[in-house]
Structures are given as C-alpha cells and as structure tokens.
C-alpha cells in the first residue's frame, strides 16, 4: 500500500475515489453478467450448428457415393468466394454478425449431368453456410471472452483492492486527524495552564 498523507485534503481525495469506485463497480458487474450470458448463448448456437453440419454431411454422403468416391469432384461444384458479415455491439464489444456468403457454382452441362447434381449443389452451399456461420460465432466467442477477462479483472481490482484500500486509508486518516485534534486540545490546555501565574491567583483571591 502506498504511503498516504494524513491530511484533510487526502481524506477528501480518498473519499471521492471511494465514491467513484463504488459507483462504477455495479456497472462493471452488470457488464460481466451480460458478457457471461452472451457467451453461454453463443456456445449453444455453436453446438446447434455443429449438429446441423453433421446432419448435412451425413446427407451429402449419398451424393459422394454417386460420384463413385470422387469427393474432390463433388466439392469443385461450389467455391466459396466471400463470407458476408455485419457488425453489432454487445456490452461495448464490437462483434461480427453472419449475414450470408457469396459462392461460385461451376458450369454444369444440363444435358450430360444427372438431375440430382442440382440437389448436391444446394447441399454443398448449405454446408458452406453452416461452416461460415460457425466460424463467425467462434470469432464472437473469442472477442467477448477477451472482454470478459478484462472486465472480471477490473471487478476484482475494485472489489478486492481499490475499495478496501480506500476504506482503510480513510480509517487511518480519520484516526490520525482525531489524534491530532486531541493532541491540539491537550497542548492548548497545557499552554493555558502555563500562562496562569501566582499573581493571577492573588488577584483572584482579592
């Protein structure tokens, strides 16, 4: 703990600091709760997307079989060009929001390709959408987790260090000022007693 001045000015400074910390702490605690709730929601969404992606892969396996094991040939039907995102703000954190994606579909000769190829293309696009959205959700999770770590550190700093420190400083200063006041009164009485001479007693008796 840093050395403090045992003065009325320092007492006011410590009291003002304590008020600031006690005013900001509830806001930080609320932000921490909001971030924790958001992280839980993102984790649920990621889990749901993972299940949907697994189901899509299972459905796609039928098309892979039709391509006689040529998985690369099937994947070449659709190419991901760009993941589209917007930006939102969660408890003061700017996070990306998935809005869609741009894809390029390979040229298909309708006269030589079977009709189920169209369905395979749709399924591939769906899988790419799931993967892109899951990646954006994971990025959200990373950003909010970083902010939660910082916010939790500040909450702990205020709760366990700054507020107790200010309270202890105020206590010490008040004791010191009280002792000083008592000593001042005592010195005043002593000084008054020294000024009281025997002649004063005689005059009082007369």
What's phi and psi for 201, nearest 5 deg? -65, -40
Specify if 180 maps to a domain.
no
Specify if 1 maps to a domain.
no
- Measuring CA to CA, which residue among 12, 18, 2 is closest to residue 163? 18
Specify if 102 maps to a domain.
yes
pLDDT for position 83: 95
Specify if 110 maps to a domain.
yes
Specify if 32 maps to a domain.
yes
pLDDT for position 187: 66
Specify if 195 maps to a domain.
no
Both tokens of 178, joined, read: 């009280």
CA dist list (Å): 110 to 72, 114, 115, 118: 20, 8, 8, 10
CA dist 56 and 50 (Å) reads 10
> Domain range for residue 85?
8-166
pLDDT for position 206: 47
What's phi and psi for 114, nearest 5 deg? -70, 155
pLDDT tens for the chain, residues 1 to 206: 568 899 999 999 999 999 999 999 999 999 999 999 999 999 999 999 999 888 888 877 766 666 554 455 666 788 889 999 999 999 889 999 999 999 998 876 655 666 667 777 888 888 899 999 999 999 999 999 999 999 999 999 999 999 999 999 999 999 999 888 777 766 666 766 666 555 555 555 44
Residue 70 sits in a domain whose CATH number is 1.10.287.3240
CA dist 163 and 29 (Å) reads 14
Q: What is the reported pTM? A: 0.76
pLDDT for position 65: 64
Specify if 206 maps to a domain.
no
- Evaluate whether 163 touches 21 at the Cβ level (below 8 Å): yes
Specify if 70 maps to a domain.
yes
Number of domains in the chain: 1
């Amino acid at each position: 703990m840093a050395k403090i001045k045992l003065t009325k000015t320092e007492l006011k400074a410590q009291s003002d600091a304590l008020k600031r910390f006690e005013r900001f702490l509830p806001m930080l605690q609320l932000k921490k709760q909001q971030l924790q709730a958001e992280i839980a929601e993102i984790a649920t969404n990621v889990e749901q997307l993972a299940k949907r992606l697994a189901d899509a892969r299972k459905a796609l396996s039928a098309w892979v079989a039709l391509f006689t094991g040529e998985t690369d040939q099937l994947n070449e039907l659709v190419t991901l060009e760009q993941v589209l995102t917007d930006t939102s703000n969660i408890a003061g954190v700017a996070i990306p929001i998935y809005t869609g994606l741009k894809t390029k579909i390979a040229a298909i000769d309708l006269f030589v390709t079977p009709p189920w190829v169209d369905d395979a293309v749709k399924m591939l696009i769906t899988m790419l959408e799931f993967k892109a959205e899951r990646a954006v959700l994971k990025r959200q999770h990373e950003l909010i987790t970083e902010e939660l770590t910082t916010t939790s550190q500040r909450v702990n700093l205020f709760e366990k260090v700054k507020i107790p420190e200010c309270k202890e400083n105020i206590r010490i200063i008040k004791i010191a000022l009280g002792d000083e006041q008592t000593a001042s009164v005592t010195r005043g009485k002593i000084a008054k007693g020294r000024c009281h001479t025997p002649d004063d007693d005689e005059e009082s008796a007369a």
